[in-house]
Chain A
Amino acid sequence: MSKVRVLVGTRKGAFILTSDGKRDKWEVSGPHFAGWEIYHVKGSPVDPNRIYASQTSGWFGQIIQRTDDGGKTWIQPGTPPGEPTTAPGGMPKGESNKFVYDTSAETGKPLTTHQWYDGNQHPWEFKRVWHLEPSLSDRETVYAGVEDAALFRSADGGKSWHELAGLRGHGTGPKWQPGAGGMCLHTIILDPSDPKKIYIAISAAGAFRTDDGGKTWRPINRGLKSPYIPNPEAEVGHCVHRIAMHRSRPGVLFMQKHWDVMRSDNSGDSWTEVSGNLPTDFGFVIDVHAHEPETVYVVPIKSDGEHYPLEGKLRVYRSRTGGNEWEALTKGLPQRDCYVNVLRDAMAVDALDKCGIYFGTTGGQVYCSADAGDNWAPIVRDLPAVLSVEVQTLP
């Protein structure tokens, strides 16, 4: 029977939740990296036992962790303890937590400033890794989305990182600005049909696409309307919270923007709103059913000033029509006095025949539905605030 492994990042460590395909009895492992913020944990599709974790701290900075045995043991890729930190030729060995913005002459432009909260220009400063996206085809390649917004790639299993500087350098960088959570690159989607096509999203700059493996990028925000910025239909400046894709239709994208749920049928070239009958179209997460590419899930949140569900009722909304027509899913979820949030990387789906849907809350609950959202149950109730949830479906 298949198994599932749920990878949970929290404010105070990582947790690994495992179950068989029934998904009714769970084993909980953790906290791993106790006391550290774990922004994201994600496994390689090529080798599911290889899992990367972004471990971070306001005091001690960024750490990258990796396991090659499904989470039993972890290492910081790079130089083992006691070994020289330089190679025989004197060059530094890879350092897995060294994220240095590219200022090389080859990439040309001085990528030095972006817009700050006060409207002035501000230098790019690395703060943390928000999202790790392992390659769909190469075990050693993994992408990192960081704050201040940039995309990095490692081709050696996380030992060393190099910026794909064409993203910051394509021209709109000075107009990017931080959202309330910082100027983070939080979404990385690799197109399974075209290894050169990558989508990313930044708060608050918007969505971007490369068609040449990361050398050149362009904004893909046409159709987004954000009344809270000076030009509501600007090329960049939109606070995109999350984008999701079904791997069978890589040209169809679904987006949870700050406000508005959006859809694109042309790889992001244009977007249309599909908020439809949602009670509020503010939210953070969005995901697509593993086997039904028109079935989409969101968790509506009251507003940008009140980050909790409407009326204290935690409800997932499902559309089976690719948007516009939404139904509330409530069975097993608290329907009174619930004031948690569900953060942008905290929803995932498994690939079992009856698709499982998972999400974590800032109240420390991780919920699972083993029947595509009809019924829900908590896997755990009392973790630290959940930052991210990923699921692996294992043989």
Chain B
Amino acid sequence: MIRVVLPPHLRGLARISGEVKLEIEGQPTQRAVLDALEASYPMLRGTIRDHVTQQRRPFLRFFACEEDLSHESPDALLPDAVVSGKEPLLIIGAIAGG
């Protein structure tokens, strides 16, 4: 069970509160988590990753275990603490502008 924390705007869009809990089939990677997230909440498609390129949107960041995973390969394995459900994967809207 992988836990994902969404920013408030996306929680509102998905009409959920609190964390999302996802069962991942296969290797526990960023791509697998986002695929599972979008399958459960189709309204989030295009809001975290670009529809066509599947690249992370520029003002979003991925954090876990006090590390910035934003520039990790989408196919890299997530930290063990995230895979075990001890720590959540945080999807965060970057602070930008003033």
Contact B46 A97 (CB under 8 A): yes
Cα distance A296–B14 in the bound complex, in angstroms: 43
Cα distance A121–B8 in the bound complex, in angstroms: 37
Contacts of A33 in B (CB 8 A): 12
Contact A60 B12 (CB under 8 A): no
Which residue in chain A gives the minimum CB-CB distance to B57?
Answer: A61
Contact A35 B9 (CB under 8 A): yes
- Known contacts A35-B12, A60-B47, A85-B39; 14 additional CB pairs below 8 A are A36-B9, A59-B57, A60-B10, A63-B13, A78-B42, A78-B43, A81-B14, A81-B40, A81-B42, A93-B42, A97-B47, A97-B51, A98-B51, A100-B52
Contact A59 B9 (CB under 8 A): yes
Contacts of A58 in B (CB 8 A): 59, 96
- In B1-48, the 8 Å CB interface with A consists of 7-10, 12-15, 38-43, 45-48
Chain B proximity of A308: nearest CB distance (Å)? 21
Contact B96 A79 (CB under 8 A): no
Interface residues on A, range: 20 to 34
Contact B43 A81 (CB under 8 A): yes
Which residue in chain B gives the minimum CB-CB distance to A82?
Answer: B40
Contacts of A79 in B (CB 8 A): 42
Say yes or no for B69: interface residue by CB 8 A criterion: no
Chain B proximity of A375: nearest CB distance (Å)? 39
Contacts of B46 in A (CB 8 A): 61-62, 95, 97-98
Contact A100 B9 (CB under 8 A): no
Which residue in chain A gives the minimum CB-CB distance to B10?
Answer: A60
Cα distance A76–B42 in the bound complex, in angstroms: 10
Say yes or no for B74: interface residue by CB 8 A criterion: no
List 6 A-B pairs, minimum CB-CB distance, nearest first: A79-B42, A60-B47, A59-B59, A59-B93, A98-B51, A76-B43
A and B contact pairs by CB, cutoff 8 A, 17 listed: A59-B9, A59-B60, A59-B94, A59-B96, A60-B93, A61-B46, A63-B43, A63-B47, A78-B43, A79-B42, A81-B41, A81-B43, A85-B42, A93-B42, A95-B51, A97-B51, A98-B45
Which residue in chain A gives the minimum CB-CB distance to B43?
Answer: A76
Q: Count how many chain B residues have C-beta atoms less than 8 Å from C-beta atoms of the other chain.
A: 27
Central interface residue in B42, B52, B59, by most chain A CB within 10 Å: B42
Contacts of B13 in A (CB 8 A): 60, 63, 76
Cα distance A81–B39 in the bound complex, in angstroms: 8
Cα distance A79–B12 in the bound complex, in angstroms: 17
Work out how many contacts link A and B, with CB atoms closer than 8 A: 66
- In A40-99, the 8 Å CB interface with B consists of 57-63, 76, 78-85, 93, 95, 97-98
Which A residues are within 8 Å of any B CB, using their own CB?
A: 33-36, 57-63, 76, 78-85, 93, 95, 97-98, 100
Contacts of A63 in B (CB 8 A): 13, 43, 47
Chain A proximity of B5: nearest CB distance (Å)? 15
Chain A proximity of B20: nearest CB distance (Å)? 12
Chain B proximity of A31: nearest CB distance (Å)? 11
Cα distance A62–B43 in the bound complex, in angstroms: 11
Cα distance A82–B50 in the bound complex, in angstroms: 21
A83 is contacted by which of B15, B42, B51 (Cβ under 8 Å)? B42
Central interface residue in B48, B51, B57, by most chain A CB within 10 Å: B51
Cα distance A36–B10 in the bound complex, in angstroms: 10
Contact A60 B51 (CB under 8 A): no
Contacts of B9 in A (CB 8 A): 35-36, 57, 59-60
Cα distance A57–B8 in the bound complex, in angstroms: 13
* Given A34-B12, A35-B12, A57-B9, CB of A85 within 8 Å of CB of B45: yes
- In B50-87, the 8 Å CB interface with A consists of 50-52, 57, 59-60
Which residue in chain B gives the minimum CB-CB distance to A86?
Answer: B39
Cα distance A85–B45 in the bound complex, in angstroms: 10
Cα distance A17–B82 in the bound complex, in angstroms: 46
Contacts of A61 in B (CB 8 A): 46-47, 50, 57
Contacts of B60 in A (CB 8 A): 59-60
Contact B12 A97 (CB under 8 A): no
Contacts of A57 in B (CB 8 A): 9
Chain B proximity of A111: nearest CB distance (Å)? 15
Contact B45 A97 (CB under 8 A): yes
Contacts of A84 in B (CB 8 A): 39
Chain B proximity of A306: nearest CB distance (Å)? 22
Chain B proximity of A128: nearest CB distance (Å)? 12
Contact A60 B40 (CB under 8 A): no
Contact A100 B51 (CB under 8 A): yes
Contacts of B52 in A (CB 8 A): 100
Contacts of B8 in A (CB 8 A): 35
